[in-house]
Structure 1
C-alpha cells in the first residue's frame, strides 16, 4: 500500500473533485440497506449472502467501485432521479476523469492503463454476477464501457431499463418476513444507511478492504434497524451474522481493524482480551458478543497515514 501512496492520493483527489463539483453539496451519501442484508429465497431455502458479503472475501476493487459509482451518481443528481453513466473506463479527454482515475493504480503491468483496465473489467464482471451493474451484450467489444448502475439489492433478471435511482427522502424498506429477521421497530424502517462524505473524499473507500467495509455497513444496518439503542451499542452474534447478512467469521473479524482505525468503538466484555480471546469464563454463562458503536467522525482523519500506521504496528498492539 505504501509503495502506491501517490496513486491513492491521486484517486482521492479525483473523488474530492467530484464531490465539490457535482452540485449537490452532500454532507453524507446514502446506501440502500439491501446491499448488506442477506438475500433469502424462502423459509426452506439456504441463506444467500448479501451483495456486499458476497464480494467481501474477494480480491480486487469490485465493492469499492460500486460504492464509488453510487457516490458519483449522488454527487451530481438529486433524490428520485435515475442516473446514466457517461464516464468512460479510460480517460479520453482532460475534462472528465475516467473510472480508472477514481481507483488507485495498483498494477504490476508496465502499461498502467492496460493493467488497470483489466482490474476494472474483473471488478465489473463480479458486480454483474451480483446483478449490481448492467453490461453490454457478450462479445460486444465495448460491453464494459459506460456500464449501467443497478439497484443495491442485486435483483436477478433486472431489466436494463430498471437501473439505479437516487434514494428519496423518507424512503422506507419493506417489512422482513419473520423467518428471515424478527420484526424491528417502525422507527427502524429507513431504507438507507448513510456514510459521511469524508468516507469518499478522505480516501477511506480506497484504504479499507471489502471485508472491512462490509463489516462497517453491517453495523450501520444494525444501528438503522434499532435507532433507539444505537448510541448504547449494537451487536451481531453468529446466527444473526449468518442469517441476516451471510457474513462469515473471517469477514466479521475485521472489526479489530475498524476499531484500530477509530471508525468503530468496540465495547469490550470484561472477560475478553483485546484480541477477542477469553480471559476467563465466569461460571457456565456464555460470553456476550461484542457491542459496537460506529464513529462517523473517524472518517475525518486522513485515511492513508492512519491505516499504514496501524498496519505497521506489532500484532500485540491491535
Structure 2
C-alpha cells in the first residue's frame, strides 16, 4: 500500500519484473495516457466540484446489490459471456469510452450528499449551470471535449460537453436500462433536464420499469458501500469502467473483517456479476494503486496462465479490498504506473508529449 507522501519509482519496479506492455496492450496504454493527459485539468475541476457537494459530511456511498449482482445465475463462460442485455446494470454499462457508468455513480453520490436515507431525491440541478456560482451536471463530469474552432472557444466546448451529458442521460433512460426517468421527456426543449434516478436494478428481465430511487436505509441491508474518496479524490474519472466494476465487486465481497481475504470463482463472476476475464484483469492496476490486495495462486505465472493445468489445479486469486488506497489523489499515481508500462524504446521526453510516451499507434 502506498501513502500520500510516498514516491514510487514504477519504472524500476516494472523493468525488474519484466512487465512492460507490448503489442495491442502497449497501444492501449499509450491511448489511455494520452487521454489522461487531456483530462488532467478537467479531472481536477470536476473533483473539486464533487468535493464541494459533500463538504466532508459524507463518508461513504451506498449502492444496492442489484446494480452489480444478479441473484439468478446467468448462463455463460469466459469463451461465451452472457449477452449484455442479461447482465446486471453495472457490467452492462461498461464501455471503453462511454460515460454512462460514471455518470450514474456520480448521480448516486450527488443524491446522497443532499438526501436522507429512505427519501427520494429530486433533481433541480441544470445540465449547464445558470449562474457564476452554480454547479451543473457538466461540472461534475470530467470531459476532454474540445472545440473545432480557433480563438475563443468556451461556448462551443460548453455545448459539446452538454451534448455528451444529454446523450448519456438518454442512454441511461432508454428501454434497455431504465436507470433514469425523464419527467420532461416529451417537451420540445429541455427534455433531459430534471432527470430522476430509478432503482439501481434498472429494467427487469420481464421488461417492467423499476420504482423510483430512494437512498438505501440500514435496516433493509440491501446495499454495500464504497468510500466517498472514490469520488472526492478523482478515482471515478481516472479509472476505466472495467476497473470501476472490479472495484465495486471487491467492495461488495469484502468481509466485515477488513483483514480477511476472499476469492471470487470464475462461475460466480460470470453468472452473477456478468464480468469477463478482461474486467477481472483490472485487478492489476488496482493492486499497484494499493486499492486491492491480490495474492496470486502459486500455480499461476505472472501473465495468469496456470502451470501444468489439468482443470482442477487453478484457484482464483485471493482478494482483499484496501480502501486506504483511495485516500490519495488519483491522476498522478495512475499516470505514473501507466508510464512505467511503456518500454524505454517507445518513450519520448515528457516535455514533448505531456505523458512521456509516443502517441498511440493506430489499432
Shorter-chain TM range is 0.7 to 0.9
Matched, 1:60 2:98: yes
Cα displacement string for residues 130-178 of structure 1 (whole angstroms, at most 9, x for unaligned residues): 111112335632221111111111134437xx42111112222xxxxxx
User: TM-score when scaled to structure 2?
Assistant: 0.73
User: TM-score when scaled to structure 1?
Assistant: 0.83
Task: Give 1:245 shift.
Answer: 1.1
Query: Counterparts of 1:199 and 1:284 in 2: how far apart (Å)?
Result: 37
Task: Give 1:65 shift.
Answer: 0.7
Structure number with bigger Rg: 2
Uncovered stretches (5+) of structure 2, i.e. residues with no partner: 1-35, 76-81, 149-155, 344-363
Q: Which is further off, 4-13 or 137-146? A: 137-146
Uncovered stretches (5+) of structure 1, i.e. residues with no partner: 173-190
Change (3 A) 1:113 1:288: same
Matched, 1:248 2:267: no
Query: Counterparts of 1:62 and 1:265 in 2: how far apart (Å)?
Result: 28
Query: Counterparts of 1:6 and 1:56 in 2: how far apart (Å)?
Result: 24
Task: Choose the corresponding residue for 2:209, options 158, 161, 164.
Answer: 158
Aligned to 2:194: 146
Alignment of 1:171-250 (within 5 A): 171-172=220-221, 191-223=222-254, 227=255, 231-250=259-278
Task: Give 1:42 shift.
Answer: 9.2
Query: Counterparts of 1:41 and 1:131 in 2: how far apart (Å)?
Result: 22
Task: Give 1:306 shift.
Answer: 1.2
Over aligned residue pairs, what C-alpha RMSD do you find?
2.4
User: Could you say what secondary structure the match of 1:80 adopts?
Assistant: coil
Query: Counterparts of 1:133 and 1:233 in 2: how far apart (Å)?
Result: 35
Task: Choose the corresponding residue for 1:132, options 153, 176, 179.
Answer: 179
Aligned to 1:293: 320
Query: Counterparts of 1:112 and 1:220 in 2: how far apart (Å)?
Result: 36
Task: Determine which structure has greater relative contact order: mean sequence separation of CA pairs < 8 Å that are 6+ residues apart, divided by chain length.
Answer: 2
Count of paired positions: 287
Cα displacement string for residues 220-249 of structure 1 (whole angstroms, at most 9, x for unaligned residues): 2223xxx36774322222221111111122
